[in-house]
Amino acid sequence: MAMKGKQTKPEIALKGLKRVLHEAEGEIPRALMRMPDDAVKETERIEESMRRLERSSRNEKFTMAIDPKTDGYMLDMLSRDKDVVVRCNVAGNRNVSVEILKRLSRDKDVVVRCNVARSENVSVEILEKLSRDKDVVVRCNVARSRNVSVEILEKLSRDKDVSIRYNVAMNWNVSVEILERLSRDKDVGIRYNVAMNWNVSVEILERLKNDSDKYVRDMAIKTLEKIQGESGIM
């Protein structure tokens, strides 16, 4: 039996793990709190990751940041790197967690925030925040995201910037109601994208067949023919 007041090896390891994760602003997995014996190996693994990172060159960090095999702890540390390219690569990693993306969505660099908006793992909550970003390019990436909600697209469809409405009109998550409004937009490119969007209604296409722009008319006719062909309507 251990002497009173003397810590066991697992208890010391767990204390060290708390310190390491606190410095990295991470969270301690609940499983480790219940099973302190596992904290020994986990502490060693994290500290080895930290040593590896310290030894890594700039190019090695670039590779680790984008490699889908890089573990979550390493990605977490790389997401705090001073080098913007490293942070951009982390945001673009296909296995990056929502927690890391949430932190990177607050990054000062525009390209990092754009990569967050483009991520397949990005949440609607993060996209909603980025939809209010001051940078137009960031909002454009939100508008073209496959994870974006109809509610966010509704808001962005009223954006003053043409390029943002242009991207909304291309998004396949967009509703018919939004497409109806955008089909009357002054910008030719936006109306063209509406005519090309598979969520568009026959009624909208029939009207766009008479659009003032030849390319819009041609695309409306082409999309209408595809829809009618698939439904068997002649």
Domain ranges across the chain: 15-25+56-121
The H or E element that residue 193 is part of is helix 188-196
What are the tens digits of pLDDT across the range 116-138? 999 999 999 999 999 999 999 99
Poorest-confidence range of 11-15, 56-60, 189-193?
11-15
Does the pLDDT at position 13 exceed 90? no
Q: What is the pLDDT of residue 189?
A: 98
* One-character DSSP codes across 33-93: HH-TTHHHHHHHHHHHHHHHHHH--HHHHHHHHH-TTS-HHHHHHHTT-S-HHHHHHHHH-
Comparison of pLDDT for 162 and 33, the residue scoring more = 162
Q: What is the pLDDT of residue 11?
A: 54
How many C-beta atoms surround the C-beta of residue 128 within 10 A?
A: 15
Does the pLDDT at position 25 exceed 60? no
The H or E element that residue 102 is part of is helix 98-104
Q: What is the pLDDT of residue 92?
A: 96
Mean pLDDT in residue range 185-197: 98
What are the tens digits of pLDDT across the range 137-163? 999 999 999 999 999 999 999 999 999
Q: What is the pLDDT of residue 116?
A: 98
